[in-house]
Chains A and B, each alone.
Chain A
Amino acid sequence: MAAKDRISRREFFARAASAVGAGLCAPHILTSGALGAEGRPPASDRIVSGHIGVGGRGSGFLSRDSAAVCDVDEAHATRAAKMVESNGGKADIYKDYRDLLDRQDIDVVFIASPDHWHGLHTVHACEAGKDVYCEKPACKTIEEGRAMVNAAKRYGRVVQIGSQGRSTPAAHAAAQYVRNGQIGKVQKVTCWHYENPVGGWEPDTDPPPGLDWDCWLGPCPWVPYNPMRCHFNFRWFMEYGAGNIRDRGAHVFSNIMWATDCDNTGPVGVETTGEPPHDGMYDCPVKMDVKYEFKNPDWVLTWSQPGQKEMDAAFGCKYWGDKDTLVVTGGDGGCGTEQKAMEYQVPAGGVRLFKSPGHEQNFFDCVKSRQQPIMHIEAGHRTATLCIIGNISYLLGRKLHWDPVKEQFIGDDEANRLLSRNNRAPYFL
């Protein structure tokens, strides 16, 4: 019997493109293996996916091969199931993500729940034997991030973090340009991003019908429902999204960590100043300045809201070397960089970085090959660490010294108490 015939249906696949359903979900990436015949590939060639969090971004991962959708908001889950149906598939609806993870027919899980849920969902998915694509930022605390890494390693799972900038040609070109010394020794990297919103006040109300508010909060402290807290605007609360430094910073920093070869390390110091809204419900700093110190080699990373714009881009970063500079605009799926980097050809013996075929495609390829994806969980955790410790420095109002090996603050007991979250029962890692 040929090896291909022996391999079970779950193991040998190509993912089909899905038609856009009602214009609501982005098209999935076509794989070369999917073409050749009209209609769906045979069942043995498909990856079956489950989806946790299908409101905004999460709906973009849906396809005909989505077997289950889970959301604490019934309206989101129902809409997502209809989208799958309109693409020729059928997705069961769940409210409790553990019921979805119990499904033995599901190979991979896409996690696009609010940020404060990413750690629990990913760890539990790995413990249930699933490979995971988890949206950025990877985690809310250092403890969660390390737990995600450990769970993936313990079970040999493939975990991709959704910092899709790494899969763009511009980020690849920029990282390769920097890694090959084209700007010389990196002395600093400066990031800019527009300010966080100020917000206002809304009265607390009962949650809308179909939204399980307690489940939405999950491990976070209980507060009454307020329409300003969810869905999208969770980003502007330190307890949930913690501002653009975690939201967009996870994108921008991921490319910087790649370009500077820091996926397995971190800074040794962080100092943040910021100004929160003077009124209203939001508590993320509207303006902020963060400075990270790296050692061996020595360089500095800064994140500024608003900072100094380059190339008229809303956000991005600039590398300052001892020979030259390089601007990278954006950092998410809409990355751009200077022509010199795009045109750069790596010489023989130079550093060649893996070029991703696309972030989701890379994930599926790795599910098959069992190799590490381009934004594997260790890299995701290290990137999120920058965001987290930057915010901790802001909260405590002081400079902090960080040990990137032990992943602890040095000489600051209060800061170290914030490395983990004291989760509300029963939402435990």
Chain B
Amino acid sequence: MQYSERKRFVGALSLAVALCIGSPKPTVFGAATPEEVKAFLAKIQDANADARYAAWKSAGPLGAPAVASLAQLLVNENKGVAKAASEALNTIAHYASRPGADEERRAVSKELAGLPDAKQPQVVRVKALELLALTACDDCVPRLASFLQEEKLRDDVRRTLERIPGKASVQALMDALKTMPEEFRPAILHSLAQKNAAEALDAIVDCAESPNKEIAIAAYQAISRIDGVPSRRPQAAVAWGQLSEREKMLVGDAFLRFADKRAAAGDTEMSLGIYRAVLARTDVDSTQEHFKCAALIGLGKYGSVSDVPLMISALAHESAAVRHVAEEALVSMGDPGMNAALEQASATASPELKTSVGKILFRRQRS
């Protein structure tokens, strides 16, 4: 009997027994026997590449029992065998992760979680982490998080935790924020942002107050990417004037992202404050015209008639991009008092601005 047929038979038999006498379900549903694994491993090590392919292609139903043995073949001297083993592991992991196969997935993840152990070759440890990123859930996290201590494996573990959904991985990363070396903290902050970890926001604010610029900027970036507002505003340890131009771009982008996020969530008061401040600044020269554009776009969506004078002044900006965005923003603003505000502004504007405002009014009336 082929192991796929055996799987169906064993499954049906187990279910029948369980229904009849209430016995516990098998812990590894329909997985291969040791003999089947042995036979499979022989095929994976076949001298013929086509035979190896046929084996790895059908590896899925083998499940957890095959994982550890296949992992050992990852360091086989024959690159073709190592490749076949790697592909077989992929097939098993993807098969076990199909919808509705949670028990199989847990079983495979449990086997994989044993492999990042220090006594394993690096290639085995890294492969296990790669697949755990796709199969693992909360139950694997504590063991995985313990490997963050190892510098050579640290980033691979972080990347795995980043992909595992659920609260356990968020907590593991938050714990790491306190214990990991400083140079690794920006990476952890990035992962928390990727996970949209709102529960980490206050811890991230602590990082935003770091005198280490790299950590502080990474923290601002993380805050700007997570849905939610921290319970307090960071008190920056580094003044704006101490930042390089590149660093100003990164922090400025973080503020504008934050503003966009909050506005989209309905919290426009904070956002409008940011947009207005950016647009009103005169120390931001033409090389940061794109910040002006972002502010205008934000005001165009969420602003009101009180923003008209400030936005109209952008119609005279030296940058064509700013002028274009200002026009589009003023055309699209939905405040009912807009036309009157534009006409009023036009009355005292320079001849050039009068022309621009006239064009905006014409477009608004047409639309």
Which A residues lie at the B interface, using CB under 8 A? Answer: 3, 6-8, 10-11, 98, 102, 104, 126-129, 153-157, 201, 221, 276, 278-280, 283, 368-370, 395-398, 411-414, 417-418, 420, 422-426, 428
Q: Which of A11, A155, A283, A424 contacts B293 (CB 8 A)?
A: A155
CB pair B352–A279 under 8 Å, yes or no, is no
Determine the chain B residues whose CB is within 8 A of the CB of A8 once the complex forms.
Answer: 286, 318-319
A267 to B83, CA, bound (A): 33
Assess whether B134 is in contact with A154, with CB atoms less than 8 Å apart: no
**Among A7, A129, A153, A279, which residue has its beta carbon within 8 angstroms of that of B83?**
A279
B85 at interface, CB cutoff 8 A: no
Task: Choose the segment among B6-14, B21-29, B49-57, B199-207 that binds chain A (4+ C-beta atoms closer than 8 Å).
Answer: B49-57
Please name 7 pairs of A and B residues whose Cβ atoms are closer than 8 Å in the assembled complex, sorted by A. Answer: A7-B320, A127-B290, A221-B156, A397-B60, A417-B165, A422-B191, A425-B187
Set B98, B158, B249: member contacting A425, Cβ < 8 A: B158
B293 — which chain A residues lie within 8 A by C-beta? Answer: 155-156
Taking A370-B324, A413-B97, A422-B133 as known contacts, 4 extra A-B pairs with beta carbons closer than 8 A to each other, sorted by chain A number, are A154-B260, A395-B90, A414-B97, A425-B184
How would residues 77 to 100 of chain B score, 1 for a CB under 8 Å from any chain A CB and 0 otherwise? Answer: 001100100010011001101110
Is the Cβ of B294 less than 8 Å from the Cβ of A411? no
Most chain B CB within 10 A, of A153, A276, A278, A412, is at A278
* Residues on the A chain within 8 Å of B91, using CB: 397
B216 an interface residue at 8 Å Cβ cutoff? no
Does chain A have a CB within 8 A of B160?
yes
Assess whether B111 is interfacial by the CB under 8 Å rule: no
B residues 39-79 in Cβ contact with A at 8 Å = 49-50, 52-53, 60, 79
B364 within 8 Å of A by Cβ?
A: no
B325 to chain A, nearest CB (A): 4
Task: Report A154 CB to chain B, min CB distance, Å.
Answer: 5
Residues in B with CB closer than 8 Å to A413 are 97, 99, 165
Closest to B105 in A: A414
Q: Would you call B319 and A424 a contact (CB within 8 A)?
A: no
- Once A153-B297, A279-B49, A420-B194 are accepted as A-B contacts, the answer to whether A129 and B288 lie under 8 Å apart by CB is yes
- For B94, what are the chain A residues with a Cβ–Cβ distance below 8 Å? 395-398, 414
Considering the chains assembled together, what is the distance between the CA atoms of A423 and B156 in angstroms? Answer: 10
Known: A11-B318, A279-B49, A395-B94. A426 touches B294 (CB 8 A): no
Q: Please measure, in the bound complex, the distance between the C-alpha atom of A356 and the C-alpha atom of B53, giving whole angstroms.
A: 47
Q: Does the CB pair A368–B320 fall under 8 Å?
A: yes
How long is the Cα–Cα vector from A210 to B80 in the complex, in angstroms?
A: 31
A278 partner residues in chain B, CB cutoff 8 A = 49-50, 52-53
Which residues on B are within 8 Å of A, measured CB to CB?
49-50, 52-53, 60, 79-80, 83, 87, 90-91, 94-95, 97-99, 126, 130, 133-135, 155-156, 158-160, 162-163, 165, 184, 186-187, 190-191, 194, 245-246, 249-250, 253, 256-257, 260, 286-291, 293-294, 296-297, 318-321, 324-325, 352
Tell me the complex Cα distance, A369–B321, Å. 8
Contact (A370, B325) CB under 8 Å given A153-B297, A221-B130, A417-B134: yes
Inter-chain contacts of B260 with A (CB < 8 A): 154
* Contacting residues, chain A, for B318 (C-beta < 8 A): 6-8, 11
One of A10, A98, A279, A417 near B133 (C-beta < 8 A): A417
Q: Which residues of chain B are near A156, meaning CB under 8 Å? A: 290, 293-294, 296-297, 321, 324-325
Cα A253 to Cα B362 in complex, Å, equals 39
Inter-chain contacts of A154 with B (CB < 8 A)? 256-257, 260, 294, 297
Q: How far is the CA of A47 from the CA of B126 in the complex (A)?
A: 46
**From DSSP, what is the main secondary structure of chain B's interface residues?**
helix
**A16 vs B96: C-alpha distance in the bound complex, in angstroms?**
58
Contacts of A396 in B (CB 8 A): 94, 97-98
A11-B319, A154-B257 given; A129·B289 CB < 8 A? yes
Smallest CB–CB gap between B184 and chain A, Å?
Answer: 8
Residues of chain A contacted by B297 (CB below 8 angstroms): 153-154, 156
Instruction: Compute how far the CA of A7 lies from the CA of B87 in the bound complex, rounded to whole angstroms.
Output: 59
Q: Determine the residue in chain A with the shortest Cβ distance to B288.
A: A129
In the bound complex, CA of A59 to CA of B49 (Å): 39
Q: How far is the CA of A201 from the CA of B291 in the complex (A)?
A: 49
State A98–B245 Cα separation when bound (angstroms).
Answer: 11
Residue of B nearest to A10 (CB): B319
Residues in A neighbouring B155, C-beta threshold 8 A? 424-425
> Are A414 and B126 interface neighbours, CB within 8 A?
no
Distance between B18 CB and nearest chain A CB, rounded to angstroms: 26
Q: Beyond A155-B293, A221-B126, is A422–B162 a contact (Cβ under 8 Å)?
A: yes
Smallest CB separation, A8 vs chain B (Å): 5
In angstroms, Cα B133 to Cα A157, docked, is 35
Contact residues in B for A395 (Cβ distance below 8 Å):
90, 94
Contact: A424 with B53, CB < 8 Å?
A: no
The interface residues of chain A lying within 8 Å CB-to-CB of B289 are 129
Which chain B positions have C-beta within 8 A of A412? Answer: 98-99
Q: In whole angstroms, what is the CA distance A98 to B249 when docked?
A: 11
In Å, the complex CA distance between A309 and B260 comes to: 48
Question: Which chain B positions have C-beta within 8 A of A126?
Answer: 290
C-alpha gap A98/B98 in the complex (Å)? 41
Q: Residue B245 contacts which of A102, A157, A422 (CB distance < 8 angstroms)?
A: A102
**Closest Cβ–Cβ distance, residue A284 to chain B (whole Å):** 13
Q: Which of B163, B286, B296, B324 contacts A422 (CB 8 A)?
A: B163
Bound together, the chains give a CA A413 to CA B297 distance in angstroms of 35
Chain A residues, Cβ within 8 Å of B134: 414, 417-418
A397-B159 contact, Cβ under 8 Å, with A155-B294, A278-B53, A279-B83: no
For A203, the closest partner residue in chain B by CB is B79
Q: How far, in angstroms, from A368 to B187 measured CA to CA in the complex?
A: 38
For B98, the chain A residues whose CB sits under 8 A away are: 396, 398, 412, 414
| Complex-state Cα separation, A368 to B290, whole angstroms | 15
Which single member of A104, A398, A418 contacts B287 (CB below 8 Å)? A104
In the assembled complex, the Cα of A398 lies from the Cα of B101 at a distance in Å of 13
Give the chain B neighbours of A127 by CB distance below 8 A: 249-250, 253, 290
* B-side contacts of A426, CB under 8 Å: 186-187
Closest to B297 in A: A156
| Distance between Cα atoms of A7 and B133 in the complex (Å) | 53
Interface centre among A11, A98, A153 (most CB of B within 10 A): A11
A279 in contact with B194 given A127-B253, A370-B320, A417-B134 (CB within 8 Å): no
Give the distance in Å from the alpha carbon of A156 to the alpha carbon of B290 in the complex.
7
Residue of chain A at shortest CB distance from B94 = A396
Would you call A397 and B95 a contact (CB within 8 A)?
Answer: yes
Which A residues are CB-close (under 8 A) to B256?
Answer: 154
